[in-house]
Structure 1
Amino acid sequence: MLNTVKKDSSANTCSGQDKVIIGSNRKLLLSDVKRIAQYPVIIDLSPDTHDTVKKSYEMLKLLADKRIPVYGMNTNFGDQVRYMDTHLKCDNSELYYASMMRRQINIIKSLACSQGQVVTPEIIRVTMTLRAHCLAQGYSGVSPDAIATILSYLNAGIAPVVRCYGSIGASGDLIPLASIAACFLGENVEVSYQGKIMPASEAMKQAGIGKLRPQLRDGLALINGTSFMTAIASTALYDLNRLFTQTLSAVAMSLESMLVISSAYHPLVHQLKFHKGENSINDFILNFWEGSLLISNLDELRTTETAYKPVQDYYSLRAVPQGFGPLQENLSTAVLWVENEMNSVNDNPIVDAEENQIHHTANFMGYYITEACDLLKADIAQASTWIHALLANMLHPRKNHGLPVNLTLDPDNHNGFRSMQLLSAALAVQNRKLAQSQQAFSLPTEGDNQDVSSLGAHAAFDLRESVMNLERLTAVLLLASAQALELRGIQKASLRAQEIHQVIRAHSPVLSECRPMSAELTSIVNLLQEELI
């Protein structure tokens, strides 16, 4: 099994309306992310969530009434935690609670300062859903109104405008999440609603949603977690999980076109290495080649007096299982880690109503997200370099075993796939740059209170870009492989390769003369995204 994402989930479809259930005793899976991202999928709470949330809120309210200091409720935040609420010992409860509410409003307003490119509404929908899911576990002490407000926005199709820069992954994603929460307060910020960008207050008015009045620690709870980085990572990981098999298919086609020697793919070879991923990929490639007449036999090459190729292939042709095996295994690990983070209580402090305890901790740290993304970025850089190498083999007459230069029959007048090789080099180089470990760039900040940081959002954005580039590289390799197999004789190719070739040719004809290829490459990328290849 190459696909590591489970299809069963806690999401339900009822009464003809697509609905995802979150909250207590519910586990979201990576397969839910695609649906959550799309409005008008309804996000609703499990029936037992209300009581769970109410218990933790009432416990926190009791501590507030007793004037017991709790971080972020009646103390200031971060490096300023030493500053207690000036009304903590005031007998006037009205002034005391008004002071706590003002503090919650101020922390949201002050942190709503994201910059850079606007993040897609789909990622923001996932972010909001994951934040609501976290708070609905009943360990944050939030008011039911805080969760209800998030769901109101989601189910009305309102997506706050959030820009990509601000999070450093310590104390979670403070700035991006505050940019979302500021909308709930009706602040002078923008949202996307019904295809238009408008002030949050206008969208709330049209949708019939009132302003949130944050209680106790509602403001901090809305912004103090990993929901933004996890949303980015989960959407990128969903795409990579789908793309991985498609990329392997493109690789298998290219190997066929290069008359690869089957000896390197004998099952015994990989059984002797013991690695699960390596063996799984080898099995995939062997199954893909079913029916192929283009795979070379080593014994035949050894006995042929005028062999059409050497008895051993280049590394990129004979080492695919060993090279792509780690990516498959790291992909499985990343799915586990990201799904755990999706369902985690990533807040601080944690309110344990059952044991009547408050824990001041650091579950808002996003190191598992960072590690998952950093691992996969490095693997994607390797895969990108590999695709470039395969393309080079197919295009160069010194290496391609009889294929025409640049896969064109008229090299005097036409350039064939030469430009595609340039494009693949540009994409591969970018992915190699993105492969740098984000954890290595941790920078102390906020009065050195946040003296270590995960940089999870940075890593997740880099992973997202890497996946998109790998998708483009896969499209290039598919086009080149389709052309190379035609030149060999498409009827000699494997059954699966012939199926893929037929789909490709419905959107991109043979490259016999020079023509602009940007639109056709985009068409192949769309086919990959629609899982038609």
Structure 2
Amino acid sequence: MSKAYEKVDQVLNAETCWVGANRLSIESLEKVLYGNAKVGLTAQTWQELNSGHEFLKDFADDKVIYGVNTGFGPMAPYKIPDDKHLELQLNLIRSHCSGSGKLVSETQTRGLMIARLSSLAKGYSGIHPEWAELLVKLINANVNPHIYEHGGLGASGDLVQLAHLALCLIGEGKVRIDGEDKPAAAVFAQQNWQPLLPRIREALAVLNGTSAMTGYGAVNVIRARRLLEWSELSSALLIEIVGSYDDYYSEELNGVKAHAGQQQAASRLREILLGSKRLRDRSDHLYRAHENKRLDDKVQEYYSIRCLPQIMGPILDTLVDAQKTVEDELNSVSDNPIIDYRNENVFHGGNFHGDYVSLSMDKLKIAITKLSLLIERQLNYLLNDKLNQQLPPFVNMGTLGLNLGMQGAQFVATSTASENQSLCSPVYIHTIPSNNDNQDIVSMGANAALMANRVIENTFEILGVKLLTAVQAVDALGIQDALAPATRNLYDSVRKLVPAFSQDAIMYESTHAVVNLLSDTDPRTITNHDGNKKSFN
């Protein structure tokens, strides 16, 4: 191995995420995407990358290998002369930089880059180690290539999205750094980085894989987990507003249903509600003699309150399954062909096909849509005085008729929940042949992940409206001091941003503030709780 690649393990900071060396988890990825952790490659990984590259150079000398000395896709029967190999790789990058639509978020872009680095770092792609090295530099410096929403079919990999990543690696195209869009060449010059020229098949190695859908999918799992935890907190607050009976969430009731998600959902509600003075024991109110034919106490609550474990349990189970699928893909080699220097062979196949992630994102999207409908019904319960029978209409703490309370905000929540329903058509089955029918059945995995992301972000907006309504309800009832410590922290966090109000004002300023709180804050900082994190391992 050349001296330039005699790398040694270097701890970049206390939470370095060693890509390729160990199984990459959603938790470690979260520390890079939302924390201060850096990515790094161990000395062993550098050695394996170099070994794979050197093997391919020798092995390909007198053989026909796809993408090394052939055209691509339906053009594979055309043999490429030795003096055109570099031009072939550059042509692949530039011709496939055809993305359109909006740029994906910087977080999604970083997820994509880490996912691609993880696949390449397994040592089965035949790349020169400098390609991995430059990827590490981009990720750690938060330099994000322009990646567009519309592009690849997720079958020969996320070709178009990853072409835009490769374009950056050769010093072309645009990147975003420190909130500004700049030419990649200018940023490279500023950072004293050298653009790369592809050897043998590096361009194909970067393009050919599931890393866009996987990176987006990893962000979705992180965001969906946080959304579900916020939903647990806000549902617990609703339980207290109602003054619910506690047996709905009891271990005894939920323990006889043999679903792990339901049992955990009930356990989390019990944990959040510890210390609450608002829960009622059925024995104190109903398990005694009653003379009146019509009871003053409601025997059972509406399903959006009573059936929380049964509704949130399947959502939790779906999220656990999505995390496993995305983690498995993060730790896979999604390349073609596979350069196996260990067995001294090259294997052609279809590891670039994204069906696993596509189907998983569809299931996650459906589950989160159901969560958004649950939240919307809980909101409606709070706003409809005929249902809750204890709050003013629309939780209006001003003058009825003159003031409107949360009335206008409900329209936003309802319309956004409806949009989620419209987005729930499965992408996994929407295969359309392309590429001269070479790609005759495709996954559309990146589309599936982006649509799931839209549903997740929509649901944050719906939850923001519901949470603001809930804290208004707490003030209307004057029950702040009776709340559990966890829900009181939630109440206080919202009230720091939006004080209680009785007079009408510009509503979006308040709802946006709450949505931003939910979107930008890890809910575990509110509850001082780490238990849910363990359940997603």
* 1:330-479 → structure 2 map (5 Å cutoff): 330-409=318-397, 410-479=399-468
Residue matched to 2:171:
186
- 1:41 deviation in Å? 5.4
- 1:398 deviation in Å? 1.6
Say if 1:295 and 1:436 are closer, same or farther in 2 by CA, change over 3 A. same
TM-score, normalised to structure 1's length? 0.90
TM-superposition CA deviations, 1:129-168 (whole Å, max 9, x none)? 2212211211111122322332343344432112111021
TM-superposition CA deviations, 1:334-390 (whole Å, max 9, x none)? 111111111211111011111112111111111221122111111111111111111
Say which of 483, 498, 502 aligns to 1:508. 498
TM-superposition CA deviations, 1:81-118 (whole Å, max 9, x none)? 12222x3xxxxxxxx1x311111111111101110101
- 1:184 deviation in Å? 2.2
Is the Cα contact below 8 Å between 1:226 and 1:364 reproduced in 2? yes
TM-score, normalised to structure 2's length? 0.89
Is the Cα contact below 8 Å between 1:366 and 1:456 reproduced in 2? yes
Say if 1:265 and 1:128 are closer, same or farther in 2 by CA, change over 3 A. closer
Residue matched to 1:111:
96
Q: Aligned partners of 1:368, 1:428: CA distance in 2, in Å?
A: 27
Q: Aligned partners of 1:37, 1:122: CA distance in 2, in Å?
A: 6
Q: Aligned partners of 2:112, 2:12: CA distance in 1, in Å?
A: 26
Say which of 214, 224, 233 aligns to 1:240. 224
Between 51-60 and 121-130, the greater mean CA deviation after superposition? 121-130
Q: Aligned partners of 1:114, 1:197: CA distance in 2, in Å?
A: 17
SS in 2 for 1:338: helix
1:200 partner amino acid: A
2:40 partner amino acid: D
Q: Aligned partners of 1:268, 1:31: CA distance in 2, in Å?
A: 32
Q: Aligned partners of 1:330, 1:359: CA distance in 2, in Å?
A: 34
Q: Aligned partners of 1:118, 1:178: CA distance in 2, in Å?
A: 14
TM-superposition CA deviations, 1:21-65 (whole Å, max 9, x none)? 223x32221123234336985432111112211222222111221
Between 381-390 and 364-373, the greater mean CA deviation after superposition? 364-373
2:202 partner amino acid: D
Q: For the aligned residues, what is the CA RMSD?
A: 2.2
Q: Aligned partners of 2:491, 2:136: CA distance in 1, in Å?
A: 45
Between 155-164 and 350-359, the greater mean CA deviation after superposition? 155-164
Residue matched to 1:481:
470
Residue matched to 2:241:
257
Q: Aligned partners of 2:504, 2:459: CA distance in 1, in Å?
A: 24
Q: Does 1:20 align with 2:13?
A: no
Q: Does 1:316 align with 2:304?
A: yes
* 1:19-58 → structure 2 map (5 Å cutoff): 19-23=16-20, 25-37=21-33, 42-58=38-54
Is the Cα contact below 8 Å between 2:246 and 2:280 reproduced in 1? yes
Say which of 259, 272, 276 aligns to 2:260. 276
1:386 partner amino acid: L
Q: Aligned partners of 2:267, 2:181: CA distance in 1, in Å?
A: 50
Is the Cα contact below 8 Å between 1:40 and 1:157 reproduced in 2? no
Say which of 77, 83, 103 aligns to 1:82. 77
Between 476-485 and 357-366, the greater mean CA deviation after superposition? 476-485
Q: Aligned partners of 2:395, 2:108: CA distance in 1, in Å?
A: 40
SS in 2 for 1:472: helix
Q: Aligned partners of 2:116, 2:205: CA distance in 1, in Å?
A: 9
2:264 partner amino acid: S
TM-superposition CA deviations, 1:432-462 (whole Å, max 9, x none)? 1222211121111111111111111111111
Q: Aligned partners of 2:140, 2:279: CA distance in 1, in Å?
A: 54
Say if 1:402 and 1:150 are closer, same or farther in 2 by CA, change over 3 A. closer
2:387 partner amino acid: K
Between 52-61 and 377-386, the greater mean CA deviation after superposition? 52-61
- 1:15 deviation in Å? 6.7
Say if 1:39 and 1:524 are closer, same or farther in 2 by CA, change over 3 A. closer
2:121 partner amino acid: A
Q: Aligned partners of 1:530, 1:204: CA distance in 2, in Å?
A: 33
Is the Cα contact below 8 Å between 2:39 and 2:140 reproduced in 1? yes
Is the Cα contact below 8 Å between 1:256 and 1:493 reproduced in 2? yes
1:71 partner amino acid: Y
1:230 partner amino acid: T
Say if 1:291 and 1:39 are closer, same or farther in 2 by CA, change over 3 A. closer
Residue matched to 1:5:
none
Residue matched to 2:485:
495
Say if 1:44 and 1:499 are closer, same or farther in 2 by CA, change over 3 A. closer
Q: Aligned partners of 1:198, 1:264: CA distance in 2, in Å?
A: 56
Residue matched to 2:508:
518
2:216 partner amino acid: I
SS in 2 for 1:358: strand
Residue matched to 2:535:
none
SS in 1 for 2:387: coil
- 1:223 deviation in Å? 0.5
- 1:412 deviation in Å? 2.0
Count of residues in correspondence between the two structures: 509
